[in-house]
Amino acid sequence: MRTILNFPRWLYAGIVFIVICVAGLLALRNTDQQREQMIANLKDRADVLIWALEGSARAMGRMGQNHLPELLEEIGDEPDVAYMAILDGQGRILIHSDSAESGNLRRLPPLHEEMDKEPSVSRGTFITDGEKPLYEVWKIFAPKRPGPVFAPGDPRLTRRWLHPTRKWPWDEGRFYIAVGMDASHFEPRLRRYVAQTMMMAALITAAGLAGIALLFFFQNYKRSRRMLEDTQALAEQVISNLPVGLVVTDLHGKISLRNRPAEQILGIPHEQENHPPLQDLTFFDWRSLMDELDSGGLILEKELDAFASKTRNMPVSLSAAKLTDSEGGKSGYLFILRDLDEVRRLRRQVKLNERLSALGNLAAGVAHEIRNPLSSIKGYATYLTEKVKEDKMAHATGMILIQETDRLNRVVSDLLSVAKPLNLRIESASITPLLQQAIRLITPEAEENMVTVELDLPPEQTPQKDRIMLDADRFTQALLNLLVNAVQAAGGAGSGGTVRLTLEKTTEHGGPEFLAVSVSDNGQGIAPRDMENLFTPYFTTKATGTGLGLTIAQRIIEQHGGEIKVYSRQGQGAAFTILLPVTAEPRGSDA
């Protein structure tokens, strides 16, 4: 099919030429055949008249009569017969349908010699008699002697047969018979037929040309369609293999195209065939993005914290543009999304490493030097505070001294935890008692901050199911760091502060199983600009904060092969989720 359709153009010109030639030749041939047919008809009619006359002549001969002049006159009156005549060998008219012509001389037709060779065959030719066109048929007039010649006395000889001795007038000499057929209708009829044939030929040619044109257009259509399909297939391949998410919408935000990475970023299941409306995806504030594009803006690599799910923020780089149709009118919007989770994690890691290396050098020397005098200070402070038990003012001051020394000691411990390698003691442990213990440890601080702490465990929790390989002390330390932050954040919100500790088993995208321990609060949440700095050593927004709690927690959890995910909406609280792989081997010590 493809090869037929890929004819070069000159071939089409050739086909057109051939169609015209064939139609023309057919028309000519038809015209010739028609002409021959019409002549044959005229001649047949003339032959019949000659045959009838010869027959009559024979009959008259037998009867010894000669009514040929009257007969010719009768025949001459026939509407399509112009004349009929019998001539002798010199061209003298013996009998003529118009008796006035009898005795005149006529020039014999040039074909009379041919007729002499074949006397039984008649010959026809066109002539004009004055204005009138005639078709003249000539034949040698020789009505045969009728019947067999029997010997006299033969019993078969009856009176029906001419006596053999009787003289037959046409036996001696040469005679011709000529019939002139009226051919005045011949040419107009032929012309009409030619006109009809030409019309048919023109119609056939037109049909042929239309067929060829159709073939040509069909070929072009097929080629254009194939090109379109190829281009579409290429575009689809390019779009689906792009390493970034691509979403195209119409003017009302209805998605018309999306690729796989976009589905993953926006959380649209790949099996879902129909596109959800953009407004249903609470990922971004799409309307304001579209308004920004409508007001002539172009969004380039804008870093946004999108809400990938109810428990997860996703840093996304967004580029967007307005789409226009072929006439320059607005046709929709194009959004290009890039997941920055990994980029942010790496950035954070780099920052962390920088700070840790600085911290490591400092902490190792300084922290050790501070710890010894600090324990002396605490010992003396405790001793002196005991001594002034009766003096309330002095006792309170002493207590502050002890608390502040404790705080200082904690800072130093934190500093050492960050700088020192973690030597994990990994054992199989049940996680529920660890969570309950953490709740017990945080309760005094929670009460102080008027915060309620709740523990949510999955209903089907059994001792076998919640066992996991971990360093229980370190895990509790990490969890406490998160709980302390949550209690402080929820406490800042005044009364009604709540912290919820939940445990559940989860799998992400059908991957390995994780234990997810979430600490969520209803505090003020985290400002988007601070999201990137979380887990960075010394990053704190608190007046008395050290900025080490999250760093230490993350370090411990990462050593267990897990990770901490953060979700926060400013003004609506925050959730920190520790994900611990259930099957994976913990990394153990980072020494």
CB atoms near residue 474 (< 10 Å): 22
Residue 399 CB, shortest distance to ligand ADP, in Å, is 23
Residue 448 CB, shortest distance to ligand ADP, in Å, is 16
DSSP code, position 254: B
Q: Which is nearer to ligand ADP, 117 or 529 (CB)?
A: 529
Residue 538 CB, shortest distance to ligand ADP, in Å, is 8
Give the Cα separation of 448 and 523 in Å (integer): 16
Residue 472 CB, shortest distance to ligand ADP, in Å, is 21
User: Which has the closest alpha carbon to 25: 189, 205, 193, 191?
Assistant: 205
Residues found in the chain: 591
The token pair at 28 is: 């000519």
Residue 500 CB, shortest distance to ligand ADP, in Å, is 12
Q: Which is nearer to ligand ADP, 115 or 493 (CB)?
A: 493
Residue 314 CB, shortest distance to ligand ADP, in Å, is 19
Residue 417 CB, shortest distance to ligand ADP, in Å, is 12
Residue 552 CB, shortest distance to ligand ADP, in Å, is 8
Sheet holding 574-581, edge to edge: 451-456, 497-507, 513-521, 574-581, 563-568
Give the Cα separation of 140 and 222 in Å (integer): 72
User: Which has the closest alpha carbon to 177: 144, 142, 146?
Assistant: 142
Is 522 within 8 Å of 498 (Cβ atoms)?
yes
The token pair at 476 is: 């509790």
Kindly calculate the radius of gyration of the chain based on its CA atoms and give it in whole angstroms: 61
Q: How far is CA 9 from CA 5, 209, 219, 405, in A?
A: 11, 14, 11, 98
Give the Cα separation of 315 and 293 in Å (integer): 21
Chain position carrying tokens 């030619």: 194
Q: Which is nearer to ligand ADP, 248 or 526 (CB)?
A: 526
Is 270 within 8 Å of 262 (Cβ atoms)?
no
Residue nearest to ligand ADP (CB): 549
Residue 313 CB, shortest distance to ligand ADP, in Å, is 13
Q: How far is CA 304 from CA 49, 259, 285, 287, 348, in A?
A: 112, 20, 10, 15, 17
Give the Cα separation of 473 and 554 in Å (integer): 15
Residues forming the site for ligand ADP (CB under 6 A): 481, 485-486, 489, 521, 523, 526, 530, 534, 539-542, 545-551, 574
Give the Cα separation of 226 and 218 in Å (integer): 12
Give the Cα separation of 537 and 535 in Å (integer): 6
Direct distance between the N- and C-terminal alpha carbons of the chain, in angstroms, rounded to an integer: 72
What's the 3-state SS for 367-416?
HHHHHHHHHHHHHHHHHHHHHCCCCHHHHHHHHHHHHHHHHHHHHHHHHH
Residue 373 CB, shortest distance to ligand ADP, in Å, is 24
Q: Which is nearer to ligand ADP, 566 or 584 (CB)?
A: 566
Residue 493 CB, shortest distance to ligand ADP, in Å, is 10
Q: Which is nearer to ligand ADP, 322 or 347 (CB)?
A: 347
Residue 517 CB, shortest distance to ligand ADP, in Å, is 14
- Please give the backbone phi and psi of residue 144, each rounded to the nearest 5 degrees, phi first: -60, 155
